Structure 1
Amino acid sequence: MMHFPRVQSMTNGETIMASAEIEAPAERIFRALVTSEIEQWWGSADTYRLADWSADLRVGGHWTVTVRTANGNDLPAGGEFLEIEAPRRIVQTRAYAWDHATLGRRQTTVAWLLQPITGGTSLTICHGGFAGLSAAAAEHAEGWGRVLAWLQDYVEAGRLVTA
């Protein structure tokens, strides 16, 4: 197996760029992002776990998620799919249905870009809409780094996150 660098994530205070090179084909990663399989890898016992997830995977379709924090709070979010080009690209809106400490209920946009590379796939997330909320952008950049690490570990090693 080739060893790819782990995850990179950064922000300029307005937009987040996060990336990982994953030893799997784009089709495999895309499936982990858009099916109920997402519930198996997104989260950790010390942060949060997906308690409920659903998606109408089509342009104009809606998605919803509820995460359960380590202390038992349920936090819902959702949005709409703006673009879908399986297995290369997903663009979706995202907003919390609760008053997030640094972002509130502001709607942002997340683009997932999957590019085949030798030995796997380069996955890049571009998350925009943080203008004027640099603390929220920094917090979310850190979060996207965790998410990509969870996905990378799950897809490459087949490890399930334990509850």
Structure 2
Amino acid sequence: MHLPTLHAMSNGDTVFATVDLSASPERVFRALSTDQVELWWGSVDTYRMVDWSADLRVGGRWTVVVRRSDGSDLPAGGEFLEIEAPRRIVQTRAYAWDHPTLGRRQTTVAWLLQPVAAGTRLTICHGGFAGLAEAAAEHADGWARVLTWLAGYFDSQGRAAA
């Protein structure tokens, strides 16, 4: 398996993560904004995204359930603030449970999709961690995992099509 070149870091207030994906911006956009999320986001030994639902329009709501490997469910959701298919999605995000380092604080995730020669450069800017540097660092690690899963999803589709 090809390991993606990705970067994820935090300045304590905002998380930044980026990866180059072997898929067009249109395919990446669909993987981020539809129930395709359930196909790639997670792993057997961590958690999986289930029950994805989204009203993909500015002001529309989205919800998802994170099902952990022990079978417990952790719901989350938010609202779409900006949508520019297939280039940009900005959405709020909050856990509907007491996250150990973030609680139920609402944060904002911006997904930026840029066409590059190999496919798409996906950049995530996840803000709203002011005063919670530990939560920001933890989420930087989480985004690195998520981008690895997404890159693997597109790599496996490419091999299946070959």
What range is the shorter-chain TM-score in? over 0.9
| Consecutive unaligned residues in structure 1, runs of 5 or more | none
The residue identity in structure 2 corresponding to 1:106 is: R
Aligned-residue CA RMSD (Å): 1.4
2-side partners of 1:45 and 1:58: how far apart?
31
Q: Tell me, yes or no, if the aligned pair for 1:4 and 1:21 is still in contact at 8 Å.
A: no
Moved more, 30-39 or 150-159: 150-159
Whether the 8 Å CA contact 1:4–1:22 is kept in 2: the answer is no
Deviation at 1:6, TM superposition (A): 2.1
What TM-score, normalized to structure 2? 0.93
Q: 1:10 to 1:64 in 2, by over 3 A?
A: same
Aligned residues: 157
| Displaced runs of 4 or more, over 3 A | none
TM-score of the two chains, using structure 1 as the length reference: 0.93
Aligned-pair CA distance for 1:40: 0.5
Partner Cα distance (2:156, 2:71) in 1? 28
1:51, distance to aligned residue in structure 2 (A): 2.3
1:9 has 2:5 as partner: no
One-letter amino acid of the counterpart of residue 75, structure 1: L
Q: Does 1:19 align with 2:18?
A: yes
Partner of 2:94: 95
Letter in 2 for 1:142: D
Distance 1:139 1:4 in 2: 21
What are the Cα deviations for residues 80-131 of structure 1, in whole angstroms up to 9, with x where unaligned? 0000000000000000000100000000000000000112110000000000
